[in-house]
Amino acid sequence: MWVYEKKLQYPVKVSICNPRLAKFLIEQYGGADGELAAALRYLNQRYSIPDKVIGLLTDIGTEEFAHLEMIATMVYKLTKDATPEQLKEAGLGDHYADHDKALFYHNAAGEPWSAKYIQAKGDPIADLYEDIAAEEKARATYQWLINMSDDPFLNDALAFLREREVVHSQRFREAVEILKETQAQKKFF
């Protein structure tokens, strides 16, 4: 089960109201390579993978929810003082018409989140390679977001998230090696 802590994993500061940036950041909230996809992918895969790597999938999956909360905080802080006019100018008119300033699970283009973004193949090697790819895609996405942002406070938090993806990718690669070793140890008489 899950315990919630009333604290962000890493502080999120924002220099100035900037709904345009928020529109892009939503990609990591409800997008294909975003934190929701990551959390649900790993937490679901863990039911059908070998015991040795269940801990890793549980822990990384849980951390992704903490990251989801950070993205939500960024969007919240970037839009909370914006007028409907400012939101419209920033390309968030469609979102505002449906949601006001509520957050929602869609990507930067407005496409709603889908379980089609994730897979659980039942084959641990297939699953782990998908997980490595997911982390690399997320890392790249954070880099593109940093490229578009000139807010140094925001970029600090985005760089933190980018580096977490690098570490997660590394852990999943180690998990593959652990499983390969276990498979190699099988003896047939």
**Among the candidate windows 3-11, 36-44, 108-116, 151-159, which touches other proteins by CB under 8 A?**
3-11
Which amino acid is residue 167, in one-letter code? Answer: V
Nearer Cβ to other proteins (57/118)? 57
Instruction: Give the residue numbers marked as catalytic.
Output: 35, 64, 67, 135, 165, 168
> Among positive and negative, which fits the CA dihedral 166, 149, 72, 115?
negative
14 binds other proteins (CB under 8 A): no
Rounded to the nearest angstrom, the gap between the alpha carbon of residue 166 and the centroid of all alpha carbons in its chain is 13
Task: Identify which of 55, 27, 57, 58 has the alpha carbon closest to the alpha carbon of residue 144.
Answer: 27
Nearer Cβ to other proteins (13/121)? 13
3 binds other proteins (CB under 8 A): yes
Which amino acid is residue 125, in one-letter code? Answer: I
Distance, in Å, from the CA atom of 175 to the CA atom of 184, rounded to the nearest integer, reads: 14
| Residues whose CB is less than 8 angstroms from the CB of residue 175 and which lie 6 or more positions away in sequence, other chains included | 52, 53, 56, 128
189 binds other proteins (CB under 8 A): no
175 binds other proteins (CB under 8 A): yes
Using CB under 8 A as the binding rule, the residues of this chain from 58 to 117 that contact other proteins are 59-60, 63, 69, 72-73, 76-77
Binding site for other proteins (CB under 8 A): 1, 3-12, 53, 55-56, 59-60, 63, 69, 72-73, 76-77, 167-168, 171, 174-175, 178
